[in-house]
């Protein structure tokens, strides 16, 4: 079985960060000297350099929210003409709101529950009540599959032009996806016009970061373009001894031999040397006080300094090819290979306190884990788009074939949890005093199992977007998928190997209609289905799981005033997923609980009130329920974990104009986010609602310079974001303060 190389100690890796910061700073300085003759770019918070992936989306995606995306239909049909709820988060919005992760960039969007777990290892987000982080993440239209372990793909938001949220089942175009929706992360691509920037950032938790983005033409004709995006960070987190260090670089080349042909070759390297900021803490001591009236500190580190770490080495290479044969036919192919090595070592807690005495001590039961993983993924998507017009009928037909293959190899070892008595044995981890932690005494487990998982999938799809009389848009699409998963698990102590496998096929489809009415109002209705193989694992009571299937009815209204940058959409949905796979909080065994139903209302709008004032607002009502349960997870009638009934957000920003004299160039922004109460799996533990405030400000001057300040969770509210069970709860993110100085030319 193949596996990536092992890394050095966290101290050794951490010492490389200052060197990485220095190297990147030197590189961007050389680039700055080379390109001093380039045309200057304006330095405003609401005007970005041209960084779009496709030229036709540039003008549509300026400002705080975009209006054009190819993610919903894989074609150039505008969002307002698509019978489905879609949102676009631009690079401008990501930067202005101070989002440091893709997950964080979603927090002002309707229907998306973000950051139930504040975790340096991965992002966690739910769309319409379903986990979309595991099986709904895409990069440039190609899937980033979940390994099933700790090898999580992570894309730095600085590398992105925009983030598209496609709500509801999208299997008809993308294959195996979450029924709640997907998030497509769209990378910055080379541009013909020279545009360059250098950023230096500093923040609390000893955060230091340098980043740079450089693009332009390599020849006078503009047929060969380049782009290099890079970032290096050395940072702590709100959790003691848990770092968040990163180095990232993404060089790209675009070749445009003719006006009809475009070929972009891209690579990406990302190295993370971090800890685990997601402590698993009991509800007693976080939601409710301990017997002495105190609560567990948010900075508590439940692991072992010098042992605990999360290391990720991520490599991506691929190309995007498109050729316009004539006015009717366009051919496209997107291909990518990605490799990741992940190493995770952790002494953590998920079993609560030994006891709750009036005067302490308060001892946290712990267990140990080690995982060494290698994950390889190959994906290719072939498309042919045909545009045909017959009288009042205007067809955009898309036919495609996509294929993916992956190989996941994992060494795993675990130690048993501290006994309930709090007295450790030779093979169990000792407890930790939460108010007086004593580190250095722990059991380092050996690897116990070696798992090898192979997945393959092929899908054939066909879609017709039919526009009739410039008033009606009809969407009809169908797809057939064939997916196979094989797993071999070897017990290292005995050499015994267990084999499981699944081979599934499924047809999925979508049908929708939209009417472009007067005054910019467009009502729509759609029906769509989803298909998601669960993988080769063993269920409680024996057997392998069936693939999950989903179906959704959605009705909505879109509002796009003529000639305005404002856009709003209202959607009502009824979504059902069957054969849902879950783990019992008691036994830890897998069970297919039967069915989860989620229905609700989403309202989202972006208003350009004046040329200088923008407002973003959203409201979400979600009624999610487990409507059928399984033998090891008897949760019928309960609300799925993490899912609030109500969410709301409001963001506004204002740029001072020339009538403000020397204050011209000042930009101010702020927002508020509300999440209502949520529950754990069994609905025994209730997590209180919370409201958070964010603040941002910047000052652009002398054409090239911008100073920016972002404060998230302005009032430093201490809150619990979510709970899995009474012994697994997660603190939310405390106040973060980041100041950035930028130079653009």
422, 431 in Cβ contact below 8 A?
yes
Average pLDDT over residues 281-288: 97
Confidence of residue 529 (pLDDT cuts 50, 70, 90): very high
CA distance 615 to 293: 42
Q: For residue 66, what pLDDT is reported?
A: 57
Q: For residue 67, what pLDDT is reported?
A: 61
The verdict on whether omega for the bond into residue 361 sits within 30 degrees of 0, i.e. cis, is yes
Confidence of residue 133 (pLDDT cuts 50, 70, 90): very high
CA distance 146 to 133: 8
How is the chain split into domains, by residue range?
Answer: 10-744
374, 408 in Cβ contact below 8 A?
yes
597, 624 in Cβ contact below 8 A?
yes
Q: For residue 720, what pLDDT is reported?
A: 98
Q: For residue 34, what pLDDT is reported?
A: 38
> What are 455's strand-pairing partners?
406, 485
What is the total residue count of the chain?
Answer: 745
Residue-wise burial string across 282-303, b where 16 or more C-beta atoms lie within 10 A, e elsewhere: bbbbbbeebeeeebbbbebbbb
CA distance 127 to 479: 23
Lowest mean pLDDT among 29-38, 239-248, 357-366, 674-683: 29-38
Q: What are phi and psi of 55, to 5 degrees?
A: -60, -30
* pLDDT (tens digit per residue) in 137-147: 999 999 999 99
Highest mean pLDDT among 20-29, 588-597, 598-607: 598-607
Q: If you ran DSSP here, which 8-state letter would residue 741 be given?
A: E
Kindly tell me if the per-residue pLDDT of 152 is higher than 90. yes
Confidence of residue 32 (pLDDT cuts 50, 70, 90): very low
Confidence of residue 37 (pLDDT cuts 50, 70, 90): very low
Lowest mean pLDDT among 52-61, 212-221, 273-282, 716-725: 52-61
Residue indicated by tokens 């290892």: 121
Q: What is the mean pLDDT of the chain?
A: 89
Three-state SS at 609 = coil
Kindly tell me if the per-residue pLDDT of 182 is higher than 90. yes
689, 681 in Cβ contact below 8 A?
no
Kindly tell me if the per-residue pLDDT of 188 is higher than 90. yes
Nearest C-alpha neighbor of 732 from the set 180, 237, 105: 237
Q: For residue 587, what pLDDT is reported?
A: 52
Q: Strands 130-131 and 521-532, how do they pair?
A: unpaired
Nearest C-alpha neighbor of 74 from the set 140, 4, 123, 135: 140
110, 67 in Cβ contact below 8 A?
no
Three-state SS at 436 = coil
Kindly tell me if the per-residue pLDDT of 101 is higher than 60. yes
Kindly tell me if the per-residue pLDDT of 392 is higher than 60. yes
More confident residue, 147 or 51: 147
Lowest mean pLDDT among 4-13, 227-236, 427-436: 4-13
Q: For residue 628, what pLDDT is reported?
A: 82
Q: For residue 21, what pLDDT is reported?
A: 43
Average pLDDT over residues 501-513: 95
Kindly tell me if the per-residue pLDDT of 42 is higher than 50. no
Nearest C-alpha neighbor of 206 from the set 245, 150, 172: 245
Kindly tell me if the per-residue pLDDT of 254 is higher than 50. yes
* % the chain with pLDDT above 90: 77
CA distance 698 to 43: 10
Kindly tell me if the per-residue pLDDT of 260 is higher than 50. yes
Domain 10-744 sits in CATH at: 2.40.170.20
Q: What are phi and psi of 422, to 5 degrees?
A: 85, 0
* pLDDT (tens digit per residue) in 550-593: 999 999 999 998 888 899 999 999 999 998 877 655 555 667 76
Q: Strands 137-139 and 181-187, how do they pair?
A: parallel
CA distance 609 to 659: 18
Kindly tell me if the per-residue pLDDT of 511 is higher than 70. yes
Kindly tell me if the per-residue pLDDT of 84 is higher than 80. yes
CA distance 150 to 371: 8
234, 274 in Cβ contact below 8 A?
no
Average pLDDT over residues 371-392: 97
Global pTM value: 0.90
Lowest mean pLDDT among 60-69, 210-219, 448-457, 503-512: 60-69
* pLDDT (tens digit per residue) in 532-544: 887 656 676 667 7
Q: What are phi and psi of 32, to 5 degrees?
A: -60, -45
Average pLDDT over residues 514-526: 96
Q: If you ran DSSP here, which 8-state letter would residue 96 be given?
A: H
Kindly tell me if the per-residue pLDDT of 118 is higher than 60. yes
12 Cβ contact list (under 8 Å, min separation 6)? none
Q: For residue 2, what pLDDT is reported?
A: 46
Kindly tell me if the per-residue pLDDT of 322 is higher than 60. yes
The rounded Cα 536 to chain-centroid distance in angstroms is 25
Average pLDDT over residues 452-473: 96
Confidence of residue 606 (pLDDT cuts 50, 70, 90): very high
**Cα distances (Å, whole numbers) of residue 221 to 34, 56, 180, 261, 476:** 19, 20, 45, 15, 41
Residue 92 tokens, joined: 């401008």
Lowest mean pLDDT among 23-37, 155-169, 529-543, 621-635: 23-37
């Amino acid at each position: 079985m193949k596996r990536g190389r092992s890394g050095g100690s966290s101290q050794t890796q951490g010492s490389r960060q200052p060197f990485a910061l220095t190297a990147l700073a030197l590189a961007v300085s050389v680039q700055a000297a080379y390109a001093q003759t380039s045309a200057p770019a304006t330095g405003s918070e609401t005007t970005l350099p041209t960084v779009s992936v496709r030229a036709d989306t540039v003008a549509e995606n300026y400002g705080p929210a975009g209006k054009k995306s190819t993610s919903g239909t894989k074609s150039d049909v505008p969002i307002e003409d698509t019978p489905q709820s879609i949102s676009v988060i631009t690079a401008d919005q990501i930067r202005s709101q101070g989002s440091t992760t893709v997950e964080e960039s979603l927090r002002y969007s309707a229907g998306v529950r973000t950051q139930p777990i504040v975790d340096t290892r991965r992002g966690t987000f739910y769309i319409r009540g379903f986990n979309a982080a595991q099986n709904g993440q895409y990069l440039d239209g190609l899937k980033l599959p979940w390994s099933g372990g700790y090898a999580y793909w992570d894309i730095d938001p600085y590398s992105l032009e925009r983030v598209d949220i496609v709500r509801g089942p999208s299997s008809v175009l993308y294959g195996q996806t979450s029924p709640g929706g997907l998030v497509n992360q769209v990378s910055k691509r080379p541009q013909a016009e020279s545009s360059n920037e250098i950023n230096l950032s500093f923040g609390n938790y000893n955060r230091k970061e340098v980043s740079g983005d450089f693009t332009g033409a390599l020849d006078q004709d503009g047929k060969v373009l380049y782009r290099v995006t890079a970032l290096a960070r050395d940072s702590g987190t709100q959790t003691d001894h848990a770092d968040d260090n990163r180095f990232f670089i993404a060089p790209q080349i675009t070749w445009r031999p003719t006006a009809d042909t475009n070929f972009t070759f891209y690579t990406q390297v990302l190295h993370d040397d971090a800890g685990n900021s997601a402590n698993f803490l009991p509800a007693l001591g976080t939601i409710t006080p301990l017997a002495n009236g105190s609560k567990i500190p948010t900075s508590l580190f439940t692991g072992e300094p010098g042992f605990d770490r999360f290391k990720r080495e991520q490599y991506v290479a691929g190309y995007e090819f498109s050729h316009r044969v004539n006015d009717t036919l366009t051919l496209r192919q997107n291909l990518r290979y990605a490799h990741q090595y992940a190493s995770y070592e952790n002494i953590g807690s998920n079993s609560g306190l030994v006891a709750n005495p009036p005067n302490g001590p308060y001892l946290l039961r712990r267990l140990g884990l080690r995982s060494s993983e290698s994950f390889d993924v190959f994906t290719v998507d072939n498309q042919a788009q045909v545009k045909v017009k017959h009288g009042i009928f205007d067809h955009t037909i898309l036919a495609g074939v996509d294929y993916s293959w992956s190989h996941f190899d994992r060494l795993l070892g675990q130690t048993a949890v501290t006994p309930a008595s709090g007295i450790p044995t030779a093979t169990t981890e000792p407890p930790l005093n939460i108010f007086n932690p004593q580190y250095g005494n722990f059991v380092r487990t050996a690897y116990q199992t070696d798992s090898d998982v192979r997945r393959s999938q092929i899908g054939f799809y066909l879609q017709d977007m039919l526009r009739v009389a410039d008033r009606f848009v009809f969407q009809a699409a169908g797809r057939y998928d064939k997916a196979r998963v094989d797993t071999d698990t070897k017990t290292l102590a005995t050499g015994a190997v267990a084999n499981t496998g699944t081979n599934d096929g499924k047809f999925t489809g979508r049908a929708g209609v939209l009417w472009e009415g007067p005054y910019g109002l467009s009502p729509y209705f759609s029906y769509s289905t989803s298909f998601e193989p669960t993988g080769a694992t063993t269920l409680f009571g024996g057997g392998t799981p069936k693939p999950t299937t989903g179906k959704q009815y959605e009705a909505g209204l879109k509002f796009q005033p003529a000639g305005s940058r404002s856009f709003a959409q209202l959607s009502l949905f009824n979504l059902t997923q069957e054969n849902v796979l879950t783990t019992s909080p008691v036994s830890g065994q897998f069970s297919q609980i039967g069915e989860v139903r989620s229905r609700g209302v989403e309202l989202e709008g972006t208003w350009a009130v004046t040329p200088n004032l923008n407002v973003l607002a959203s409201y979400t009502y979600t009624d999610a329920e487990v409507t059928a349960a399984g033998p090891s997870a008897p949760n019928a009638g309960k609300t799925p974990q993490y899912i609030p009934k109500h969410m709301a957000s409001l963001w506004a920003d204002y740029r001072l104009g020339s009538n403000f004299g020397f204050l011209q160039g000042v930009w101010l922004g702020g927002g508020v986010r509300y999440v209502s109460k949520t529950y754990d799996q069994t609905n025994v533990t209730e997590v209180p609602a919370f409201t958070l405030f964010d603040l941002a400000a910047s000052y652009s001057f002398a054409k090239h310079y911008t100073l920016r300040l972002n404060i998230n969770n302005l009032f430093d509210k201490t809150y619990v974001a979510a709970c899995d069970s009474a012994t697994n709860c997660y603190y939310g993110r405390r106040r973060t303060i980041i100041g950035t100085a930028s130079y653009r030319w």
